[in-house]
Amino acid sequence: MYLLRVGRKGVVVLPKELREKMGVKEGDLLVLEEREGGFSVRAIRPLVVKVDLERVDELLGEERVLEESKFERMLRHE
Which tens digit of pLDDT belongs to each residue from 21-71? 989 999 999 999 999 999 999 988 888 899 999 999 999 999 999 999 888
Residue 20 domain flag: yes
Range of the domain at 36: 8-43
Q: What is the pLDDT of residues 52-62, one digit of tens each?
A: 999 999 999 99
Which pLDDT band holds residue 72 (cuts at 50, 70, 90)? confident
Residue 50 domain flag: no
- Cα torsion 60, 62, 65, 70 to 10°: value is -100
Residue 60 domain flag: no
Structural domains in the chain (count):
1
Residue 63 domain flag: no
3-state secondary structure of 47: coil
Residue 22 domain flag: yes
Q: How far apart are CA 14 and CA 30, in angstroms?
A: 11
CA atoms within 13 A on the CB side of 31: 6
Residue 36 domain flag: yes
Instruction: Tell if the pTM clears 0.75, that is, is over it.
Output: no
Residue 56 domain flag: no
Residue 33 domain flag: yes
